[in-house]
Amino acid sequence: MRKLSNQLVGNVGLFYVCYELSKRGWNCLPTTRNAKGVDIVIYNSKGDRKYTIEVKSLSKEDPAPFGNKLKIMADFVIICTKVFTDHPNIYILKPEEVKKNIHKGKKNKRVSYWLQRDKYSQYKNYWEKIGKGF
């Protein structure tokens, strides 16, 4: 199988997360792709609750990359794995849970942050953190 582009993997994960949130009553506003900051803004049907979400999309059950600076601006981080399968996996974390479990890697004097699979797997389908938008 040929390698899929990061942009395509990201798009599939982003829109799958929007689909799942919409089923739970949230209005979803995906932001401009590759922009710095959050990936989705959601608000409930009454318009009195809103949250921001950062989505990490992966084609496999791999460590989730967080770049060379650990800066999370969103209220929630959602890791979406196996995005090209019929049933992608969803893991929902708060920023403090990411920071508590993050792995800091160093290679050739370069720093990168990763969330290993065994550190995020315990947060599978934790939709009650976000709640319903109805």
Q: The domain spanning residue 32 has which CATH number?
A: 3.40.1350.10
Note the pLDDT of residue 2.
Answer: 67
Amino acid at 3: K
Q: Is the dihedral of CA 87, 89, 92, 95 positive or negative?
A: negative
| pTM of the entire predicted model | 0.95
Amino acid at 55: V
Residues 53 and 15: their CA atoms lie apart, in Å, by 12
Note the pLDDT of residue 29.
Answer: 97
What residue numbers bound the domain in which 90 lies? 6-62+73-95+122-129
Note the pLDDT of residue 113.
Answer: 98
Q: In total, how many domains does the chain have? A: 1
Average pLDDT over residues 26-45: 91
Note the pLDDT of residue 91.
Answer: 98
**Residues 44, 25 contacting (CB under 8 angstroms):** yes
Note the pLDDT of residue 92.
Answer: 98
